[in-house]
Amino acid sequence: MACRAALAAWKSSSRVRYRWPSSAAPVCRVHALVAYVSPAMGERWSQPQFVPNKRWWGSAEICTSTRVEQQDHRESIAPLKRHSLLEPGQVSPRLEVPLHIPRPPYVGSIKPPPYDEQVQIQDLAGIAGMRAAGELAARVLKFAGTLVKPGVTTDEIDKAVHQTIIDAGAYPSPLGYGSFPKSVATSVNECICHGIPDSRPLQDGDIVNVDVTVYLNGYHGDTSETFICGTVDSDVKQFVEVTRDCLNTAIAICGPGVYFREIGNIINDIADIHNYNVVEQFVGHGVGSIFHSAPSILHYRNYKPGRMVVGQTFTIEPMLTMGSIQPVRWDDQWTVVTKDGSLSAQFEHTVLITKNGAEVLTHSISIEVEE
């Protein structure tokens, strides 16, 4: 009931303040103690720990090396043969960005920048910069969504997004982040995240997450949405909408003094109700003048300390699956798919903590589309 009450605060404006209603009773949870294992060290511990793993850093999410030792006992609810499994397509050459457009500092390096422990708290100038970057990212994402149609390749979406971003005088943040070769990430069907746009045409019944980040006047705006291509089964549509609800409900509880772990707790609660699973290896992050920084936002139940403070900007970007949460990384070192081929969906916003709650900096806006 508390989740439903919080969602009532969700309105069309990007500057709505989200707070729990004063009449809402606190949620009481009992968390089972789970054994965890570090793949790198082979060590076990009785309580979850968070360890950044640089090998998995990507254009949108930081990855933890923490993973559950044993797969969730629940069976996958996804018929794994509902769609053909993805195969790598042809990747076109990297697109150029005009020299007059400022680049993020990491462009030109073959390695992603080290994880920055700095918590980004914005002053008035920073808030203005983040609002501008977030508004542009939202506009670009909405435009990208209009391109999701059967027969359109993800490479074509990348080219259109790239042109829109540079026409606005901004830089596409994923391009040149380490070895990432494209301006947007497109994750189709069983792809969890960091899909590289290629020659594969979208098919009727696909779902595709488009992850847009722009670098405008020194600030990054980061957002993503899972779009439906053509017609999908009702259970797939529900899966996508529940993932969206996970993001919206998590934003609704944000505000000064709130523990970051409550984000993961409430997302996991919603996923459990529908028998979906929450990806643990990829998390949200601080964002601002630095693309990826502290705090790391875990989307699953956790014991991580830390509270939100006024002026913080960070992403919330839950990834749910209809089956396994075990990631398999392709040889391109970026594309990550579910081990069992089950569908994965994700939604993401950049948020600012205000004295009254949270402001969504990448809220969806209406655009006119020429036929």
Using the CB atoms, write b or e for 167-192: b if 16+ within 10 Å. eeebbbbbbbbbebbbbbbbbbbbbb
Bridge-based pairing of strands 327-329 and 336-338 is antiparallel
Q: In 3D, which of 231, 232, 245 has the Cα closest to residue 274?
A: 245
Residue 94: how many CB atoms within 10 A of its CB? 13
292 is in an annotated binding site: yes
83 is in an annotated binding site: no
Bridge-based pairing of strands 327-329 and 282-286 is unpaired
Contact 110, 285 (CB under 8 A): no
| DSSP of 288-317 | SSSSSEEEEE--S------B--TTBEEEE-
Contact 158, 172 (CB under 8 A): no
Amino acid at site 62: I
348 is in an annotated binding site: yes
225 is in an annotated binding site: no
370 is in an annotated binding site: no
Alpha-carbon torsion (267, 273, 274, 280), positive or negative: positive
285 is in an annotated binding site: yes
Contact 287, 134 (CB under 8 A): no
CA angle, 286 as apex, 283 and 292 as ends, to 5°? 75
For residue 210, what are its two tokens? 């488009």
274 is in an annotated binding site: no
- How many residues in total does the chain contain? 371
140 vs 142: CA distance, rounded Å:
5
Annotated binding site: 194, 211, 222, 285, 292, 317, 348
In the annotated binding site for a divalent metal cation, the residues are 211, 222, 285, 317, 348
Tell me the binding residues for substrate: 194, 292
